[in-house]
Chain A
Amino acid sequence: MPITLAIDTSAGTSVAVLRGGELLAELNNDYNMKHAEGIGDAISQVIAAAEIKPSQIKTVVVGRGPAPFTGLRIGIAAAIMFSEGVGARLFGVVSLDAVAREALINREIASQVSEEKPLLVTADARRSEVYWALYSGISKSGAPICVEGPAVIKPVALEELLAGRGLQPIRSEAPVRAAQLAKVLDAQLVDGQATDDVTALYLRAPDAVPSPGKKVSG
């Protein structure tokens, strides 16, 4: 069975190794800093716990965010280099999809969710904003069906937007689990929806304004 390494650093650090759909090992650290310090040990420990060799990994999947800048990049950088190192295929998955899947594999929740009563997944975007996406359900193979987002918004504005549409969604803001990321990828591969695009979803432009140059004398 093919072995997959999944990495997400959109908030904390989550790394998992799966064989087929079976989870062999997962490491979750919800601390949302020190990603650069922890990423090497995290990958190495998960591989050791799974009792495999790095070279057995044939697929790498990474969470593309959305996430605020610094931590996100470290997971993506690691995934790119790891896949180059072992010659694995590299895929990207929207991190919020993993959270949505975790909610939607619960049959009770899945049975309540529809286009009219979607699942709302949010995550902290800092600066008093949240990332958000709406899901109308889950595909037969197990891929969450995103109908809007991901995007970034003020919480108040999000509530206004939902109220304006008369939506009362089911909500989830659970942490991202790398194992779910891998399972989303598996489902997307079946559905023909998988992407090798691993570009980071920052959803914000860098904070920089072109300098007009300023006078030094009055």
Chain B
Amino acid sequence: MKPWSIRNAVESDLDAIMQLENACFAADAWSRENMHFEVQAHHTVYLVAHLDEQLVGFAGLSKVPGNDQADIQTIAVSETQRGKGLGRDLMNHLLTDARRQLAYEVFLEVRADNEPAQKLYESLGFEHIDTRKRYYQPDDVDAWVMRLQFKQSSFGREPVVLGIESSCDETGVGIVRGSTLLANVISSSMDEHARFGGVVPEIAARAHLEALKPTLNQALATANLSLQDIDAIAVTNGPGLGGALMVGVGAAKALAVALEKPIYAVNHLVGHVGVDILERGKLETPTIALLVSGGHTSLLLVRDLLDDVELLGETIDDAAGEAFDKIARVLGLPYPGGPEIDRAAIGGDPKAIRFPRGLTLPKDMEKHRYNFSFSGLKTAVARWVEVAEAKGETYNKADVAASFREAVADVLVSKAINACLAYGVPRLLLGGGVVANARLRELATERCAENGIELRIPALSLCTDNGAMIAALGAQLIMAGRQPSSLHFGADSTLPVTTVQSL
């Protein structure tokens, strides 16, 4: 999680801005009048970064409508916060804005003796194109003029991006044009895992290899495109099952090299959040996102899809989907457990048995307010059933299924709603395969309505793991002017949500 927060500057920030301006640029600092004018101007974007209510950085961009060039006017980071990524974060925000305003190129000037800053700009795609002699006075230092040109392929029209997903047991290939879904093809190895009662990583990885080519070709056929129409490749590089991720990563890199197109390595969980763009054209932020699947149970606070995703909490043991699988087995139901429990719960009384709600006691609230735990629940249900069976009692399976499901849905929805209220975020987005669960959707709908929270549940084909969400996130990165990933990123099974793109 980034320790600072970034927002647009307002007039009342001026005192703090000038204080930092004078501290950073002493001899050639701007005047207050000058700064005031730029912060207020219509053709500029000024951002401020705060840490513990202290202003620790600011940056400004100028972009005149109708002109396809933009200028980074200034950037300052307080001495205590240098080398921590704040400068890059501010720059990325400004470049995203330049891109949104349809800039074609961005210019900046930097002191010839400021190598750290030059390195930062180079890593963002800027090139040194000119030198202005003795530009900085009275220090008598040259200025480098640097320029970033946004890729032609992402300029003037929406990029066509092919996304590859292989983090668990679904091989997904999706194709989008900008924010428009063109194809979403999924090949699942679920049936092969059924007799093991859960996803077997090696089986999943083997299945990905076999599914790659048919899934790719079906996606191209659905979109009515050939590979020559693709502008960029996006691929999930984590989090997920290592061996499974590597198949997608190897495949995506080779495809990018073959097509001579850029590649974007993106975060699977952030993909689940970004998928909403394919249905609504954009992601409303801030939003709380609850992602629930066989592999993940995560609660996120998303202030900005590309720059500010914070993990509020996650499961400390089993994922919610795993709990469904395990309880299905206890009840003698097949894999995958989610739909089976849903079916078994029909007509059951969700209040028949009060199963425990993990990490909801007051003592858990400090450390685990937004974390989840399902292993205690799983044990409680299994024990309840075993005791009943040992006594030779007959029990109502529908009641057990309904009560278990209620406990899971209750914890998930309660914590998500609490996060919305605590952070003052009036939106909740659901994602992940467990969203298929009827009771979870029902309870989320009820509780959101009670609390005036807008609920978003994308279509199920976009909630389960899929390549379209990966393509969509890749397209967002391109449209924001982000540089492609290098070819040497790896698969990271524990990739944090704060890493939206791996360079």
Q: Which residue of B lies closest to A208 (CB)?
A: B200
Q: Which residues of chain B have C-beta atoms less than 8 A from A200's C-beta?
A: 206, 209
Q: Does B312 contact A (CB under 8 A)?
A: no
Determine whether the beta carbon of A41 is less than 8 Å from that of B251.
Answer: no
Give the contact stretch, choosing among A17-25, A73-81, A155-163.
A73-81
A73-B255 contact in complex given A36-B490, A207-B202, C-beta closer than 8 Å = no
Closest A residue to B489 using CB positions: A37
- Say yes or no: A70 contacts B246, CB within 8 Å: yes
Is B339 located at the chain interface by the 8 A CB criterion? no
Stretch at the interface among B19-27, B55-63, B382-390: B382-390
One of B177-185, B257-265, B297-305, B438-446 contacting the partner = B257-265
What chain A residues lie within 8 Å of B209 (beta carbons)? 73, 76-77, 80, 200
Q: With an 8 A cutoff between CB atoms, is B495 at the interface?
A: no
Interface code A4-39, partner B: CB below 8 Å = 1, 0 otherwise? 000000000000000000000000000000111111
B96, chain A: closest CB distance, angstroms? 26
- Known contacts A80-B212, A216-B383, A211 near B250 by CB under 8 Å: no
Contacts of B487 in A (CB 8 A): 40-41, 44
- Measured CB to CB, the closest approach of chain B to A36, in angstroms, equals 4
B217 partner residues in chain A, CB cutoff 8 A = 84
User: How far is A69 from B204 in the complex, measured between Cα atoms in Å?
Assistant: 12
Q: Does B148 contact A (CB under 8 A)?
A: no
* Cross-chain pair count, CB within 8 angstroms: 138
**Hey, which chain B residues are within 8 Å of A37, CB to CB?**
488-490
Does A131 sit at the interface, judged by CB under 8 A? no
B250 and A74 form a contact (CB under 8 A): yes
A38 to B250, CA, bound (A): 9
A-side contacts of B252, CB under 8 Å: 81
B246 close to A73 (CB less than 8 A): yes
- B203→A78 contact, CB < 8 A: no
User: Contact at A69–B250, with CB atoms within 8 Å?
Assistant: no
Q: Which residues on the A side are within 8 Å of B200 (C-beta)?
A: 206, 208
Q: Are A54 and B258 in contact (CB under 8 A)?
A: yes
Give Cα A210–Cα B193 distance, bound, in whole angstroms.
9
Q: Which A residues from 157 to 212 make CB contacts under 8 A with B?
A: 199-200, 202, 206-211
Instruction: Kindly provide the distance from the CB of B77 to the nearest chain A CB, expressed in whole angstroms.
Output: 31
Nearest opposing residue in chain B for A46, CB measure:
B257
- Chain A residues with Cβ below 8 Å from B216 are 81, 84
Query: Of A36, A82, A215, which is within 8 A of B255 by CB?
Result: A82
Verify if A47 is at the interface (C-beta below 8 Å from B).
Answer: yes
Which residue of B198, B260, B382 is within 8 Å of A54 (Cβ)?
A: B260
| B254 interface contact, C-beta 8 A | yes
A35 near B243: Cβ-Cβ < 8 Å: no
* Interface residue B253 (Cβ < 8 Å from any Cβ of A): yes
B247 touches A40 (CB 8 A): no
Q: Given the interface contacts A38-B488, A206-B202, does A216 sit within 8 Å of B212 by beta carbon?
A: no
Q: Tell me how many residues of A have a C-beta within 8 Å of chain B.
A: 43
B250-A86 in contact (CB<8A): no
A57 contacts across to B, CB distance below 8 A: 258
Q: How far is the CA of A54 from the CA of B258 in the complex (A)?
A: 5
How far does the Cβ of B98 sit from chain A's closest Cβ, in whole Å? 29
B369 at the A/B interface (Cβ < 8 Å)? no
Separation of A80 and B491 alpha carbons in the complex (Å): 19
Q: Which of B208-223 contact A (CB under 8 A)?
A: 208-210, 212-213, 216-217
What's the Cα separation between A69 and B208 when bound, in Å?
A: 13
CA distance A36 to B237 in the complex (A): 10
Among B195, B257, B383, B491, the residue within 8 A (CB) of A36 is B491
Given contacts A44-B257, A78-B253, A210-B195, contact A70 B205 (CB under 8 A): yes
Interface residues on B, range: 35 or more
- Nearest-CB distance from A191 to chain B (Å)? 26
- Whether B387 contacts A217 by the Cβ 8 Å rule is yes
Tell me whether B197 and A211 are in contact (CB under 8 A).
Answer: yes
- In the complex, chain A residues whose CB is within 8 Å of the CB of B260: 53-54
Assuming the contacts A69-B202, A74-B247, asked whether A43 and B257 have C-beta atoms less than 8 A apart, the reply is yes
Decide yes or no: A73 and B488 within 8 Å by CB, A80-B212, A211-B197 being known contacts: no
Given A54-B260, A73-B243, A208-B203, A213 and B249 touching (CB < 8 A)? Answer: no
Nearest residue in A to B382 (C-beta to C-beta)?
A216
Q: Is A85 an interface residue (CB 8 A)?
A: yes
* Closest beta carbon of chain B to A184's beta carbon, Å: 21
- Please tell me if the beta carbons of A215 and B386 are within 8 angstroms of each other in the complex: yes
Q: Report chain B residues within 8 Å CB of A54.
A: 257-260
Q: Are B213 and A84 in contact (CB under 8 A)?
A: yes
On whether the beta carbons of B386 and A47 are closer than 8 Å, the reply is no
- Report whether B383 and A217 are in contact in the complex, using a CB–CB cutoff of 8 Å: yes
B395 at the interface (CB under 8 A from A): no
How many whole Å from A214's CB to the nearest CB in chain B?
9
CB of A78 within 8 A of CB of B202, answer: no
Distance in angstroms from B215 CB to nearest chain A CB is 11
Would you call A35 and B197 a contact (CB within 8 A)? no
Q: Is the CB of A40 within 8 A of B254?
A: yes
Interface string of B248-280 (1 = CB under 8 A from A): 111111111111100100000000000000000
Cα A85 to Cα B254 in complex, Å, equals 8
Q: How far is the CB of B126 from chain A (nearest CB, A)?
A: 23
A81-B246 Cα distance, complex, nearest whole Å: 14
B202 CB contacts on chain A under 8 angstroms: 69, 206-208
Chain A, residue nearest B227 (CB) = A85
Q: Once bound together, how far apart are the Cα atoms of A44 and B257, in whole Å?
A: 6
Q: A34 to B489, alpha carbons, bound, how many Å?
A: 10
**Quick check: A85 and B197 within 8 Å, CB to CB?**
no
**Across-interface contacts of B249 in A (CB, < 8 A):** 36, 74
**Which A residues are CB-close (under 8 A) to B145?**
none
Are the C-beta atoms of A74 and B329 separated by less than 8 Å?
A: no
- Cβ–Cβ < 8 Å partners of A40 in chain B: 250, 253-254, 256-257, 263, 487-488
| CB-defined A-B contacts under 8 Å, sample of 23 | A35-B250, A36-B490, A41-B488, A43-B253, A54-B258, A70-B242, A73-B208, A74-B247, A77-B212, A77-B250, A77-B254, A79-B254, A80-B254, A83-B258, A85-B227, A85-B254, A85-B255, A206-B206, A208-B196, A208-B202, A208-B203, A209-B196, A215-B386
List the interface of chain A (C-beta within 8 A of B): 34-41, 43-44, 47, 53-54, 57, 69-70, 73-86, 199-200, 202, 206-211, 213, 215-217
Q: Which A-B residue pairs are the 7 nearest by beta carbons?
A: A85-B258, A40-B253, A40-B487, A78-B254, A74-B250, A206-B202, A36-B246
Given contacts A34-B490, A39-B253, A81-B254, 8 further A-B pairs with CB under 8 A are A35-B250, A37-B490, A53-B260, A54-B260, A73-B209, A75-B250, A78-B250, A80-B209
